[in-house]
Every structure is written in structure tokens, then in C-alpha cells.
Amino acid sequence: MNDLKFTLPFTTKKAPKGLSIFLVKEKDYKGWLSKQAADVKALANSQGFKPGGKLALITRNAKGQPSKVFALVQDSIGIYDMPAALDQIKAQLSQDFIDKTVFELSTAKLKEEEITQALTGWALGGYQFNRYKAKKTKAAIMRWPEKANKKRVTAYARSIYMLRELINTPANDLGPAQLEDAARFVAKEFKAKISVTADKKLLEKNFPVIYTVGEAAADDRRPRLIDLSWGKKTDPKLTLVGKGVSFDTGGLNLKPGQYMKLMKKDMGGAAHALALGWLVMALNLPVNLRVLVPAVENSISGPAFRPSDIIKSRKGLFIENTNTDAEGRLILADSLTYACEAKPDLVIDFATLTGSARAALGEDIPAFFATDSKTAATLQNLSVDIDDPVWRMPLWQDYKRHVQNSNGDLVNSAGLPGDLIYSAIFLQQFMDGKTEWLHFDTFAWETSGRPGRAKGGKDTGLRSAFALLESRYGKKKK
């Protein structure tokens, strides 16, 4: 992946003259309207610019050219307020005008946090997956305000752009090797260390389950474990793990076509882990960071693993494979065992793991599991505050019996309703019982497309996880 250094929709250039955007909070709407000239009042009334109505109002000068833009936002500005207004602004202007215009955000009455939210939202509204389009549409450009926290806005925008780009890229252009390229790009950006254990070396280094899942892939798509590290050894150890199945056919338990069409996104966990790692490094959290990505393609060929095969894991537990389409938890098993060997303070894993998580919570809300209730409560409360909701599910230990009924120690698929819980219980067996652990079962996809959330790859739980890390580890001491 050589094209992850995105150009964000911002400029520092002074020319040309900009078109100013003034944000109007819903609670201030009546006061704002009362102070406007009669023509603006009439325009707002005729166009339905009011809370619950249109979000963008464009006034024009005597020549009919746009002179000001007013945008309605929530009282507490949300990250998707600006994209929603931007969509309505663009609907009222020609693409040619947008291409020649620089927008300017009026920040006079805004706090730094509100400016950051607005600018980050603007960036998310400007993301386009256009790599495979001959004709590319330009994003609307905004001039950086003087009060902008450029570092924070840029960190969020670039991490989310990367996450979306990785998930959106089809598997013919993104296999395990290209996931490795993406991780190397991230490592180079922050001068992090990276090592990769690939193909037969996985067996030599005792990652047998990762190798088994990826063994059937073609020569240019061999399985590997990507290991990135950054930070001071004296800081708390944080390990992120991301499921990196670049494409999931289901293996010999072949998926029907309607369930296979989105399986390029089955590396969405890896994309989340890399994006969260990006945020940690870009905003310099005081942690000793490690990112582990087991990267495989679940293919079908002569060496493909079979239902009823029994595999010895890195931890020594024998896993009876009851479903080759439950491969994500298999590659995570070796990775979580490996993560715990370094005795980290916290392990967080992300995986596009189960359909039952979607059945329980829908597409937008990732299920998460936690071994510490205080951490879980903090995470869930933060997630609501920042409009990136996650929901805790139970690590119900009595259900362990459903993954222990086996010719080996465990089965990878219980074959019963409630798979999101059984898969989490399965993964917990590969933790060391001491290390604090968070497991995210995320969909990582926007089905319909909404302002700031273009159809395709989507961050779900990323910003909440980072908010938790910031609250837990604080900022780097100078």
C-alpha cells in the first residue's frame, strides 16, 4: 500500500478570498434569527432553516454570488454536524464553484474542542474512495483557522482515512502482503520498529494456528504475523491486536455468495488496530505500544484445513475446528497468547467476528467484552459522549461448556445462537487470566452512506477506544 499519505481538505494559503461559515447552535437559533436583517429572516423562513429543518442557509450578494453560509449544529457540537451541513451546502452550490472556493470557519464564539470537532467532521465529510474512478470529484476545501489544533484534527482524519481506505480496497489489491506494507508505512511514519514472521517461519516460531488458517493461500498471499512496537520501555505496556483476514471465502465451509460479497472487509479489525495505533503515536500517549496483526487469506486449495481437524495452538490447547468459517478467532488465539507473554498492562483486540453481534446491536454499535467492570463503564460512558457508541456484552463463564465439548480442549464454533459470546469466551481461554483485556466485535461497514460516513469501510469503536486510552494514560510529560 503506497497511497496512504492522504491530502486532507484543508489549506494554509491566504488566497483566494474565502466563503465564511458561521455555526448556529440550536439553543441560540431564536436569538440569532432575531438579530438578522429582514431579508435573511425571510430567506430562513422560506427555506426552512431551523432546528429540525434544513441545516444550511446560504445568503447571496447583489450579484447573486454566495456571501455567507450559516450552519445549524447541536448545542454540543458533534463530529457529524459539519458533514451533515456540508452535504446541504454542496447541494446548493455548483461543483465548479466549490472547486474554486475556500471555505472559512468563523471561530469567534467557539472553544478549541468545538473547533476540533467541526474540523474533524469537515475532514470526514471530505473522504472519498475514488482510487478506481477515472473521474475524481474534489472535496470542499477549508482554510485552517488560527485557533485550530491541527495536530489533533490531522491525527484523527488521517487515521480514519487510512482505516476506511484499507477496508474499502478490494482483496485483489490488498492481501496479507499489502497489510504488511500498510503496517510498514505506519511504522515509518512514527519511527516505530516492525518485524514480520511469515509462512513456514510461523511454524518455526510456534504460531501453528495462524499458519493453518492461511496455509491454502497462493504464494503471494502467504500468512504472516505483523509485530509493530513504539514508545519507551518504562511506560505502561499497551498491546493492540487486529484480525487481518484479507478475504474470507469461509474455507471449505464455503460462504454463500450473498455473505461473501463484503468479505474484503474481514481485515477491518486490523484496520482498527493500525488506526488506533496511529492515534496513540500521532498524539504521543505515554505508553509502550505494540500492534499485532495476524494477516491471512482464508482460501480453498489442497492444504486447506478441514472441519474436524484438530490443531495444537501456541498456548498448548488443542482446538477442534468445527467450522472453517470461524477462522478469525483462530488467528486471534495464537496472537492473544503471544501478546500476554510480554505481560502488558492492557490488551485490546478488534475483529469483524460474528454475525450475531450485528443481530444483537445492528451495524453501528460494536459489541465489546471486558475483564474489568470499571474500565467497561468508563468506555461505555465515553462512547455515548463522543457519538461512537459501543455496548458491553457478558463474558458469561457458564457458557464455557459450549466451547469445551470437544475431542480436543476447545471447539472454535459452538454452532448455537449467541456466537458473539461463545467466540469471546473462546478467545478468553488464550489470555493468561491476569492481563486486562477488551475485545471488540465490530462490523466496520457503512451500508447506506450518511454525512461523514460514506458507504463502505467505517470506524466503529475507534474513537471510543482512544478516548479510553487518553483518560487512562493521560498526556506525555514534557
Same domain, 258 and 402: yes
Task: State the virtual CA torsion across 138, 144, 149, 154 in degrees, nearest 10.
Answer: 20
Which is nearest to 202 in space by CA: 222, 229, 220? 222
Does any domain span residue 132?
yes
Same domain, 129 and 177: no
Q: φ, ψ for residue 239 (rounded to 5)? A: -120, 130
Judged against a pLDDT cut of 70, whether residue 280 lies above it is answered with yes
Tracing cell 467497561 back to the chain, one arrives at 376
Which is nearest to 170 in space by CA: 294, 271, 261? 261
Cis omega (within 30 of 0) for bond into 223: no
Position 2 scores a pLDDT of: 58
Residue 412 · residue 427 · CB < 8 Å: no
Does any domain span residue 478?
no
Judged against a pLDDT cut of 90, whether residue 356 lies above it is answered with yes
Same domain, 129 and 235: no
Query: What 8-state DSSP symbol labels residue 245?
Result: E
148, 168, 200 - which closes a domain:
148
Same domain, 159 and 94: no
| Beta strand extents in 108-148 (DSSP E only) | 141-143
CATH number for position 229: 3.40.630.10
Task: State the virtual CA torsion across 311, 312, 318, 319 in degrees, nearest 10.
Answer: -30
Same domain, 92 and 138: yes
Question: Is 133 in the active site?
Answer: no
- Which stretches of 310-406 are DSSP H helices? 328-341, 355-361, 373-385, 400-404
Does any domain span residue 4?
no
Same domain, 73 and 173: no
Q: Domain span at residue 122?
A: 10-148
Q: pLDDT averaged over the chain?
A: 96
Position 475 scores a pLDDT of: 66
Same domain, 106 and 195: no
Tracing cell 486486562 back to the chain, one arrives at 436
Same domain, 110 and 47: yes
Does any domain span residue 2?
no
Judged against a pLDDT cut of 70, whether residue 271 lies above it is answered with yes
Same domain, 373 and 469: yes
Judged against a pLDDT cut of 90, whether residue 16 lies above it is answered with no
Which is nearest to 286 in space by CA: 89, 472, 98? 472
Sign of CA dihedral 445, 447, 453, 457: positive
Considering the chain, what percentage of its residues have pLDDT values greater than 90? 94
How far CA 97 is from CA of 64, 66, 90, in Å, comes to: 13, 10, 10
Q: How many helices (H) and strands (E) does the chain have?
A: 17, 20
Question: Is 14 in the active site?
Answer: no
Cα gap 459→446, rounded to integer Å: 9
Residue 223 · residue 295 · CB < 8 Å: yes
Judged against a pLDDT cut of 60, whether residue 477 lies above it is answered with no
119, 148, 177 - which closes a domain:
148
Same domain, 397 and 461: yes
Q: Mark residue 476 as left, alpha or beta (left: phi above 0; alpha: psi -120 to 50; beta: remaining).
A: beta
Task: Read off the amino acid at residue 271.
Answer: A
Same domain, 141 and 270: no
Does any domain span residue 5?
no
When pLDDT is averaged across residues 293-311 and rounded to a whole number, the result is 97
Q: φ, ψ for residue 124 (rounded to 5)? A: -65, -35
Considering the chain, what percentage of its residues have pLDDT values greater than 70? 99
124, 148, 172 - which closes a domain:
148
Top pLDDT among 64 and 186 is at 186
Judged against a pLDDT cut of 50, whether residue 448 lies above it is answered with yes
Position 476 scores a pLDDT of: 53
| Beta strand extents in 398-453 (DSSP E only) | 410-411, 436-441, 445-446
Same domain, 57 and 187: no
Angle at 375 (CA atoms; ends 427, 420), nearest 5 degrees? 30
How far CA 205 is from CA of 200, 210, 220, 291, 355, in Å, comes to: 9, 11, 21, 18, 32
- CB count in 10 Å sphere of residue 136: 9
CATH number for position 29: 3.40.220.10
Contacts of 165 (CB under 8 A, 6+ apart): 3, 4, 6, 129, 131, 457
Cα gap 308→471, rounded to integer Å: 45
Tally of structural domains, the chain: 2
When pLDDT is averaged across residues 194-222 and rounded to a whole number, the result is 98
Set 329, 358, 453, 458: catalytic member: 329
Contacts of 63 (CB under 8 A, 6+ apart): none
Does any domain span residue 172?
yes
SS3 341: helix
Tens of pLDDT, residues 88-128: 999 999 999 999 999 999 999 899 999 999 999 999 999 99
Query: What 8-state DSSP symbol labels residue 206?
Result: T
Cα gap 176→223, rounded to integer Å: 7
Residue 462 · residue 163 · CB < 8 Å: yes
Does any domain span residue 352?
yes
Does any domain span residue 227?
yes
Cα gap 179→193, rounded to integer Å: 16
Res. 478 pLDDT band, cuts 50 70 90 = very low
Residue 295 · residue 225 · CB < 8 Å: yes
Tens of pLDDT, residues 127-144: 999 999 998 888 999 999
Set 50, 68, 152, 255: catalytic member: 255
Tens of pLDDT, residues 319-345: 999 999 999 999 999 999 999 999 999
